[in-house]
């Protein structure tokens, strides 16, 4: 499925506890794909990754790329915190839980970028974007453009 080996993903995320349940998620990050485990038996999505479907108890789970469309479900602003790569508390730093469009209740913890913090609110549509953090792609979200996302980049 992925060209990235287990050894490479372990080497690229030395401070992360990689296991057989979440390794596909981290391999996906290296390919700038947001992968969420989905049950092949009942179609239910699950984040964070677990080895067993919480709906039907099937172990037939596969990582599937999500669309990247979501809405802000929960939002807080951190004014202080431990030093972390790419985190600027002076702005302050938004921490968001977004609900992915694939399934009600399917939520993902992230940050919001390319936005005035004053304009952010619960329910705001957002789309996936990629940052570079600590040498690896990092999934963040930014407010969805009111224009059609299908239009190609202008020249």
Residue 53 or 98: the one with the smaller Cβ distance to Zn ion is 53
In the complex, minimum distance from the CB of residue 88 to Zn ion, in angstroms, rounded to a whole number: 40
Considering only residues 42, 74, 84, 122, which one is a binding residue for Zn ion as defined by CB under 5 A? 42
Query: Minimum CB separation from Zn ion for residue 50, in Å?
Result: 11
Rounded-to-integer distance, Cα 25 and Cα 38, Å? 12
Of residues 9, 29, 36, 39, which one binds Zn ion by CB under 5 A?
39
Q: Is 123 exposed, middle or buried (0-12, 13-18, 19+ CB in 10 A)?
A: exposed
**What is the pairing mode between strands 45-46 and 61-65?**
unpaired
Q: Which of residues 43-62 bind Zn ion (CB under 5 A)?
A: 44, 53, 55-56, 58
Copy the structure tokens of residue 108. Answer: 């993902």
Residue 41 sits in the site that holds Zn ion (CB under 5 A): yes
Q: Minimum distance between the CB of residue 38 and Zn ion, rounded to whole angstroms?
A: 9
Q: Pick between residue 42 and residue 131 the one whose CB is nearest to Zn ion.
A: 42
Does residue 40 belong to the site contacting Zn ion (CB under 5 A)?
A: no
- How many residues line the site for Zn ion (CB under 5 A)? 8
Asked if 95 contacts 76 with a C-beta cutoff of 8 angstroms, the reply is yes
Q: Which is nearer to Zn ion, 34 or 53 (CB)?
A: 53
Q: Which stretch binds Zn ion (CB under 5 A): 10-18, 36-44, 111-119, 120-128?
A: 36-44
CA contacts within 13 A on the Cβ side of 99: 10
Q: Which of 129, 152, 132 is nearest to 141 (CA)?
A: 129
Q: Considering only CA atoms, which of 61, 66, 143 is closest in space to residue 108?
A: 66
Residue 34: φ, ψ to 5°: -90, 105
- List residues near Zn ion by CB under 5 A: 39, 41-42, 44, 53, 55-56, 58
């Amino acid at each position: 499925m992925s060209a990235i080996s287990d050894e490479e993903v372990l080497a690229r995320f030395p401070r992360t506890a990689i296991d057989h349940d979440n390794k596909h998620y981290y391999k996906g990050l290296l390919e700038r794909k947001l992968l969420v485990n989905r049950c092949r038996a009942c179609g239910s999505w699950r984040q964070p990754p677990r080895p067993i479907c919480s709906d039907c108890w099937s172990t037939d789970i596969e990582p599937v790329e999500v669309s990247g469309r979501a809405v802000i479900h929960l939002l807080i602003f951190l004014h202080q915190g431990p030093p972390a790569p790419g985190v600027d508390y002076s702005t302050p730093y938004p921490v968001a839980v977004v609900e992915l469009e694939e399934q009600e209740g399917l939520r993902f913890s992230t940050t919001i970028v390319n936005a005035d913090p004053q304009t952010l609110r619960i329910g705001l549509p957002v789309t996936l974007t990629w940052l570079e953090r600590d040498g690896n792609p990092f999934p963040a979200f930014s407010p969805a453009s009111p224009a059609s996302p299908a239009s190609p980049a202008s020249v």
